[in-house]
Structure 1
């Protein structure tokens, strides 16, 4: 199982995963991702900007996410307070394939991101999610992310979390 940069040739597999995640959010009663976002243009832009990453196992993509080393403008105006003011990585659009069921893939992804951050000398991970994304909220709690307040994306409040990694 490897974490690697996504390629444009991965878009079809990634889009299937995103569509599955959109359906899962809806089935869970969540309003997240029910408004046409993310879409294929979002994914293509992620890949073109070097943000798109996948976890691949034996040729199959099990998870897609955007990993952004840099500033997230929406995070500049938090209603609350971040744990740190240091450089950080942002995680967006985390979506797992149905092939990943039972593999704790999201947990493994977050652990792989921690390793990637340490390699790059970045010791803070920031992430946000919808108030009703119970699966992601459970993962963040399990992995010791700290709730820091609310940020706003496209006019909606989102729960914001940070984890500061040991140096």
Structure 2
């Protein structure tokens, strides 16, 4: 079976593609490596491109982690647990994951959690309070919010 692209990209062409890929939105090293591999770049050439992207500030793992955490909280309404899983999947280091999670504003985090629960409440068909609380709790936990925080909010009826 032949590949579509029979002539591999030159180093400079691959670097330009990688720069454009990183300039479009923040990327992790893992994503950029994957992209370069699909372009047929491997080995020392791949590592040199990664180094050049870092030196020219196209690729910054910390900046990616912070942007990812903020975006997933604000746009997707994800909790810390799900954000952490997503960053691990993107092969971001543990210390950077911690830093990204600490960067989330606690008040905004609580407001998003409350809003998520308030939007879900009318869709629950259960009649008994404890069943409603359980369903709302499970929903919020499935969105990555911490169970102790979820049930504390539900128990105090701070919604």
Q: TM-score, normalised by structure 2?
A: 0.27
Higher RCO (C-alpha 8 Å, min separation 6): 1
TM-score, length basis structure 1: 0.26
Q: Which has the higher strand share?
A: 1
Over alpha carbons, which structure has the higher Rg? 2
Larger helix proportion, structure 1 or 2? 2
